[in-house]
Amino acid sequence: MTAGPQHPAQPEEPVVVRDKRRLDPETGEVRTPPGDQVPGAGGGPSGADRPAQDERAAAADAEGVDGAGDELATARGLAEERLGDLQRLQAEYVNYRRRVDRDRDVARASATTSLLEALLPVLDDVELARQHGDLEGGPFASISDKLEAALARFGLSRYGQVGEQFDPSVHEALMHAESTEVTETVVTTVLQPGYKVGEKVLRPARVAVTSPA
- Domains identified in the chain and CATH numbers: 156-213 (2.30.22.10)
30 within 8 A of 22, measured Cβ to Cβ: yes
The structure's pTM equals: 0.55
Whether 73 has a pLDDT exceeding 70, the answer reads: yes
Q: What is the pLDDT of residues 149-197, one digit of tens each?
A: 999 999 999 999 999 999 999 999 999 999 989 999 999 999 999 999 9
In this structure, the dihedral spanned by the alpha carbons of residues 186, 192, 196 and 200, taken in order and rounded to 10 degrees, is: -70
Q: What is the mean pLDDT of residues 132-141?
A: 81
pLDDT interval class at 94 (50, 70, 90): very high
pLDDT interval class at 71 (50, 70, 90): confident
Residue 131: the pLDDT is 84
Q: What is the mean pLDDT of residues 57-77?
A: 72
Question: Which comes out higher in pLDDT, residue 3 or 158?
Answer: 158
pLDDT interval class at 141 (50, 70, 90): confident
In this structure, the dihedral spanned by the alpha carbons of residues 83, 87, 89 and 93, taken in order and rounded to 10 degrees, is: 150
Query: How many other C-beta atoms can be found within 10 angstroms of the C-beta atom of residue 167?
Result: 11
Alpha-carbon distance of 211 to 199, in angstroms, equals 26
Whether 67 has a pLDDT exceeding 90, the answer reads: no
Q: What is the pLDDT of residues 113-123, one digit of tens each?
A: 999 999 999 99
Residue 119: the pLDDT is 93
Question: Which comes out higher in pLDDT, residue 70 or 26?
Answer: 70
156 within 8 A of 194, measured Cβ to Cβ: no
Of 98, 118, 116, which is closest to residue 198 (Cα–Cα)? 116
